[in-house]
């Protein structure tokens, strides 16, 4: 679990979900120093590639969470991890449903980069899915049970942690122990709408349950003043912990 000396602000990754390069650069600049880092995902990466990531993060920019959710044969995923090392991400994502060999290959490719390597996080069940959605794709296992299964598989495969919804944080913390990283999207402060996330929790609730890092998008990015919205979330966390 994250050490107690870590501040609430440093636990937050702002999800910059846009294909507009100038908007992404401006947003990253506004929240840099207010939150712990910036998440750039598949939509942005397909539009602008590694050069776009460098343009947003810069040489001394905020820590990068590169959320590409790699899912392919082990050799291809390992190659993808190696190709991303130049961007110096703090975190990268793969899909746990790719299986143990794929996860091991990703972890080994990251480890070869040495002390500054990215932490590999395995996505369990997407936060947009519920029990009905899993059933529709032929996975009759309830969400919580599937998340626990995939979390334990990820840990056994050598990855650093998982991405999970806030609803499964306490379950995974108990199952996977204190040193397994839990990166948690589906976070909505008390004053924000849930939008398309089906399994949500407030920032303070998620951290109290055992989350290490929180991914927060629209409550920050959709605000007139993103930095002030981020500060408001930090204050809410601090009040919840008081």
* Nearest alpha carbon to residue 177 among 135, 221, 213, 212: 212
* Nearest alpha carbon to residue 153 among 107, 197, 216: 107
* Nearest alpha carbon to residue 119 among 179, 79, 71: 179
Q: Which residues pair with 12 in a beta bridge?
A: 214
**CA dihedral over 187, 191, 197, 200, signed as positive or negative:** positive
What are the structure tokens assigned to 152, written together?
Answer: 């334990």
* Nearest alpha carbon to residue 12 among 156, 183, 128: 183
Distances (CA, A) of 134 to 123, 145, 161, 169, 200: 15, 11, 22, 19, 18
CA atoms in the 13 A half-sphere facing the CB of 142: 4
> Known catalytic residues?
69
């Amino acid at each position: 679990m994250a050490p107690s000396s870590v501040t609430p602000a440093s636990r937050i990754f702002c999800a910059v979900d846009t294909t507009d390069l100038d908007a992404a650069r401006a947003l990253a600049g506004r929240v840099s120093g207010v939150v712990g880092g910036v998440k750039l995902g598949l939509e942005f990466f397909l539009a602008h590639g590694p050069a776009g990531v460098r343009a947003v993060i810069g040489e001394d920019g905020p820590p990068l969470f590169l959320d590409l959710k790699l899912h392919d044969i082990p050799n291809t995923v390992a190659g993808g991890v190696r190709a991303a090392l130049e961007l110096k991400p703090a975190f990268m994502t793969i899909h746990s449903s790719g299986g143990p060999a794929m996860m091991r290959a990703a972890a080994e490719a990251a480890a070869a980069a040495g002390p500054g390597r990215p932490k590999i996080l395995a996505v369990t069940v997407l936060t947009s899915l519920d029990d009905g959605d899993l059933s529709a794709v032929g996975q009759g296992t309830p969400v919580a049970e599937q998340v626990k299964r995939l979390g334990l598989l990820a840990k056994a495969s050598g990855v650093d942690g998982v991405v999970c919804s806030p609803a499964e944080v306490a379950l995974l913390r108990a199952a996977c122990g204190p040193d397994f990283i839990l990166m948690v999207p589906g976070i909505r402060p008390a004053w924000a709408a849930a939008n398309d996330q089906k399994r949500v929790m407030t920032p303070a609730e998620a951290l109290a349950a055992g989350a290490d890092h929180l991914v927060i998008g629209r409550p920050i990015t959709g605000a007139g003043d993103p930095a002030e919205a981020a500060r408001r979330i930090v204050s809410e966390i601090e009040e919840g912990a008081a």
